Amino acid sequence: MAAPEYAANPLPATALDTPSGGIPTTGTSAAETSAAETSTGGTPATGTPANQPSTALALPGQTAPRTGLADLPDTPANRIAVGFLLSHHGNTRTAYTRDLADYGAWCAEIGIEILDARRVHVDAYVEHLTRSGAAPSTVVRRLSAVSGFYAYAVDEGLIDRNPAARVRRPKVGENVQSTGLSRAEAGRLLAAAEAHSPRAAVVANLLLFCGLRVSELCHAEVGDLGWERGHRVLTVTRKGGKRQRMVVPPRAGELIDTYLDGRTDGPLVATVTGRPLDRQGVWRLLRTLATTAVPHLADSLHPHDLRHACATLALDAGASLRDVQDLLGHADSRTTRRYDRARHNLDRSPTYALAGLIDTPDPRD
């Protein structure tokens, strides 16, 4: 379809002035959304507001429908959204579903047909997110979802160009300001986990020593455990469906054996009914442990904090950036470098190593 004239879609005055500056209808605050790199729980809006344009998004539930559009209004925007979401998997699909639902709700609120939006509207959406307090990383991810949606619409011939393609992305800080857990805090948390229960000990040890994402822990099976060249290993499914072997430290291996007590199948970490422990269960368990181990974090400790601690403490212990990158499964070393708190330490300057390598002849000789 031909791109509409700009004058036909002026930016409504309400675009930058949503009530209370909040993110509408998704049920997720900006602060909560900023943690979604690690935990993509939350449910987007399931209904369609009375004033919502006919081509706005109305995505149900946390994930895209597995097949068809049976539970969605049959609109061009929804068809494009489902097609785009089906090209992604796992947590990425979950997060993008919520992101598109939020963008669709915002478009409906300002009265713009989502497939008629222009760059000025996407710029206004970014401003709305920023004013709402969304973290730069959250804004970048939401723009990625919105841009991907429009790119898919371009490929399908519904629009002529992607209005989000040239929208400026905020810079994500190079440094991770928090440290996750200090060495002492990590030790106290592990001790509290062992005192709590065998299952808690397994959860805390695998999250901290292997740097697992919570979804990787929850989806692990007993059959994923094994041995390789004398190393106890756990094979997990990482982003993009990639399978990776993780070394399990001896103490963690002993705790796993104690917890399994001879069980040879099913989820690695299970509930009392035998079902896989979900991310909410992990979150609640860690908060319980925090009340005694790290009381100042009792209301804020998150599974990602243990992954974060894994990175920072490994780097502090002298592990190479490359090895930590492989451990965490980062595709880009720049992501890992954000955890390297000491990389600007002058004591580590390669200048000293280079100066010690090169012999400078004495001009008097």
Q: Quick one: tokens of 299?
A: 């209301």
Give yes or no: 171 in active site: no
Q: In angstroms, what is the C-alpha Rg of the chain?
A: 24
Give yes or no: 242 in active site: no
Measured CA to CA in angstroms, residue 140 lies from 8, 96, 164 at distances of: 28, 12, 12
Secondary structure of 213-243 in the HEC alphabet? Answer: CHHHHHHCEHHHEEEECCEEEEEEECHHHCE
Contacts of 286 (CB under 8 A, 6+ apart): 203, 204, 301, 302, 303, 306
Nearest 5°: CA angle at 316, between 333 and 240?
A: 30
- Out of 330, 334, 337, 352, the active site residue is 330
- Out of 239, 287, 337, 341, the active site residue is 239
Amino acid at 297: L
Strand order in the sheet with 231-237: 225-228, 231-237, 243-247
Secondary structure of 154-191 in the HEC alphabet? Answer: HHCCCCCCCCCCCCCCCCCCCCCCCCCCCHHHHHHHHH
Measured CA to CA in angstroms, residue 166 lies from 2, 15, 281, 300 at distances of: 19, 19, 40, 36
- Out of 199, 307, 308, 338, the active site residue is 307
- Out of 89, 119, 219, 304, the active site residue is 304
Give yes or no: 229 in active site: no
Q: Quick one: tokens of 270?
A: 């299970």
Nearest 5°: CA angle at 270, between 327 and 210?
A: 10
Place of tokens 């409906």: 108
Give yes or no: 239 in active site: yes
CB 325 within 8 A of CB 314: no
Give yes or no: 96 in active site: no
- Out of 88, 98, 142, 213, the active site residue is 213
Give yes or no: 213 in active site: yes
**Catalytic machinery residues:** 213, 239, 304, 307, 330, 339
